[in-house]
Amino acid sequence: MNPNELKLVVQEKYGQIAQQGLLQETVSCCGTSGCCGELEFSMIGDEYAGVKGHNADADLGLGCGIPTQFANIKEGDSVLDLGSGAGNDCFVARAIVGETGQVTGIDFTLAMTEKARTNNAKLGYTNIEFVQGDIEEMPLPDNEFDVVISNCVLNLVPDKQKAFAEIYRVLKPGGHFCVSDVVLQGDLPKNLQKDAEMYAGCVSGASKIEDYLEIVQNAGFQQTLIHKKKEIVIPQEVLSKYLNASELATYKMQQTGIYSITVSAHKNS
């Protein structure tokens, strides 16, 4: 699948999710139960219950962390959320920046952007805007934001080097990003890799953790810090379908697998 085809698939899937609203079944971050086939397991990360600013209508259950938890957002900051979906992380960020701050969400999918705008209209916030656009070529000015956040989105971007270069461009000097994302550790066994990538949805574009951090460094960022790393556990019954006893033992011993991480890094002042 070439980059343009991948973008169209992502746009179509997330457009469908936007129309359906909150997913009621156990799902992977690919979308609704059944969209990926018979093998499914949830990779949904942290829960937002009790998080200030959380909006149930805007929470579609597609994240793999809570980036705002570690983003060091301050009152009055200008914040950009990449892949803002229905707006939940933007509303959480707005609760932190207050009336004097500004929050912008950008999403590749028109249906998601419209859903976020509808949610915001209900809340009546005047310092949040939602823009449709490609993270690899953001229609946003240079040196505009204090903080960039994102939740389980950059792994879906075909050209991650381009995406992080864009993050660097739109951040103010001395600004920083904090993103939750999906990465791979080690080499997934061949018998498992194809299905794991398909049925875990977000894993299809995930990089190895060392490659991911190298991309961040190559984009010019400094002070890279992993705040949280959490294994996305593939159920035993799923693993057993694809790995024999010996392969399963090796898989577990080598700590190979799929992880969600929350990572931050800073742009030079």
DSSP E strand stretches across the chain? 78-82, 102-107, 128-132, 145-151, 171-185, 207-208, 222-232, 257-266
Predicted local confidence at residue 226, as pLDDT: 98
Give one DSSP letter per residue of 179-237, joined into a string: EEEEEEESPPPHHHHHHHHHHTSGGGGPEEHHHHHHHHHHTT-EEEEEEEEEEEPPPHH
* Alpha carbon distance 149, 176 (integer Å): 9
Q: Which domain holds residue 172?
A: 3-266
- CB < 8 Å & 24+ apart, contacts of 120-125: 120/87, 120/90, 120/91, 122/57, 123/55, 123/91, 125/91, 125/94
Predicted local confidence at residue 87, as pLDDT: 96
pLDDT along the chain (269 residues), means of 10: 65 66 42 37 64 90 89 98 95 98 95 94 97 96 98 88 98 98 83 55 75 97 96 78 83 81 96
Q: What is the CATH number of the domain that holds 9?
A: 3.40.50.150
Q: Which two tokens stand for residue 181?
A: 């994302």
Q: CB–CB of 192/250 below 8 Å?
A: no
Structurally, how many domains does the chain consist of?
Answer: 1
User: In this structure, how many other beta carbons lie within 10 angstroms of the beta carbon of residue 119?
Assistant: 22
* Alpha carbon distance 239, 198 (integer Å): 14
Q: CB–CB of 177/147 below 8 Å?
A: yes
Contacts of residue 76, Cβ cutoff 8 Å, sequence gap at least 6 = 97, 98, 100, 101
- List beta partners, residue 262: 180, 228
β pairing state of 78-82 and 145-151: parallel
